[in-house]
């Protein structure tokens, strides 16, 4: 409960700071990575704006043989969400596995749009965690999602539309 309250307060601060008059300069702060309180440097919280309204959407997720709309998934910036993840690197492959079970969705799948998440590596120095678009399914044993194909760059690879 305390985690949810902290995340809600942080999201509210970002929304107020990034109001309509300031939207252009704050756009990158909508999508960011924040190291968690963990002693491990690879534990992070992803703050992401995703999804679009159902109105006008004939289906954005193809599952069980049909196209459906699912709120707060896919392209757009309609919903603010967050998830704690653990980064893993095996060789050159970088992945992120959620450590909270239902923060992103209660569905068995999640359509992650391509996103570049801002990450402050030093005061005023930023890198970007790039996540390519992907439909991920829950692991049947752990119930977690794993995102693949991640990369860190000095400039964003995606423009978060």
The domain ranges of the chain are: 31-153
Task: Collapse the DSSP code of 21 into the 3-class scheme (helix H, G, I; strand E, B; otherwise coil) and give the result.
Answer: helix
Residue 18, pLDDT score: 40
Residue 149, pLDDT score: 97
pTM: 0.77
Q: Which two tokens stand for residue 91?
A: 């060789």
Average pLDDT over every residue of 127-150:
95
């Amino acid at each position: 409960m305390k985690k949810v309250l902290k995340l809600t307060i942080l999201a509210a601060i970002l929304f107020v700071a990034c109001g309509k008059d300031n939207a252009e300069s704050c756009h990158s702060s909508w999508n960011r990575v924040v190291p968690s309180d963990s002693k491990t440097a690879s534990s992070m919280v992803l703050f992401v704006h995703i999804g679009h309204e159902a109105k006008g959407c004939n289906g954005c997720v193809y599952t069980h043989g049909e196209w459906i709309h699912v709120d707060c998934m896919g392209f757009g910036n309609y919903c603010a969400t967050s998830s704690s993840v653990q980064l893993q690197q095996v060789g050159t492959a970088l992945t992120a596995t959620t450590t909270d079970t239902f923060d992103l969705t209660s569905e068995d799948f999640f359509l992650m749009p391509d996103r570049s998440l801002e990450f402050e590596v030093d005061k005023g120095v930023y890198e970007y965690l790039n996540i390519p678009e992907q439909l991920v399914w829950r692991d049947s044993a752990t119930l977690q999602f794993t995102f693949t194909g991640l990369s860190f760059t000095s400039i964003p690879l995606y423009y978060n539309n």
